[in-house]
Amino acid sequence: MHFCSGYHLHQVFMIAYSRLEQNNRATVKRSVIVLAMAIGVGAAQSSSAQTALTGDTRLACEAILCLSTGQRPDQCTPSIARYFSISGRRLSDTIQGRINFLNLCPAASVDGNMKSLVSAIANAVGRCDAAALNTQLMTTYGGDGNGGYSISNALPANCSTYASHVYTSDLADLTPVYVGLPERNGFWVEKSSYASASAEYEARVAKEDSERAAASQGGGG
């Protein structure tokens, strides 16, 4: 079921939000209401206001709304799949391609907040989960069997900007958290896994400390 089949631009996102709210009434925040209204206003002001959204234009508008909240019903699947299908040879090409796609939505440039939201989405979505952070923020050192690695515990600016944007909702609660210390091979995990990951980390560090202490005492004898 599409968000906007048979509807005109000025109706689309109020209907879209209504459906999202029905599915997630207890958790959808006020910022998503504001976003849906902004998109609705932008659509109404569009020169195409009497034309039903179709194709990539429809998917772009749906993607903006869906990628602005951590609560994503099944209706979001087509637009999110279209967003992730855009890929370039370089990261910068991928980001620009996704910005160009999102900008197909008539409301994408309605005001400064919408413009910055499009940029925040394109620069963060797919790059700010725990697995991506552990890869991007890893630094290796040494070699010849004596090498190692560390993962920075500083959340990149593009991730924090996306999570805290005025038009995003529930994303701060989904932002990965860091376990441990960089110098002791700390790492990022999804917030839901923090408790178990932290317990495993503490157990590993305690074991390493015990082994080092035993080795030191043995060497001194």
| 56 and 135 assigned to the same domain | no
* Torsional sign, CA 45, 46, 50, 56: negative
| 147 and 116 belong to one structural domain | no
Domain boundary among 70, 102, 125: 125
164 and 137 in a common domain: yes
Of 125, 143, 173, which residue constitutes the final position of a domain?
Answer: 125
| Domain span holding position 64 | 1-125
Confidence bin at 20 (pLDDT 50/70/90) = very low
Residue-level pLDDT at 199: 97
Q: Are 68 and 161 in contact (CB under 8 A)?
A: no
* Secondary structure letter of residue 135 according to DSSP: H
User: Hey, which residues does 52 pair with through a beta bridge?
Assistant: 8
81 — pLDDT class (breaks 50, 70, 90): very high
Domain boundary among 91, 107, 125: 125
Residues 4 and 102 in one domain: yes
pLDDT score recorded for residue 110: 81
Is residue 158 pLDDT above 60, yes or no? Answer: yes
Q: What's the total number of domains in the chain?
A: 2
Q: Give 30's pLDDT tier (boundaries 50, 70, 90).
A: very low
pLDDT for position 23? 46
Please state the pTM of the whole predicted model.
Answer: 0.73
Q: Quick one: 31 and 110 in the same domain?
A: yes
Q: Are residues 88 and 67 part of one domain?
A: yes
pLDDT at 54: 79
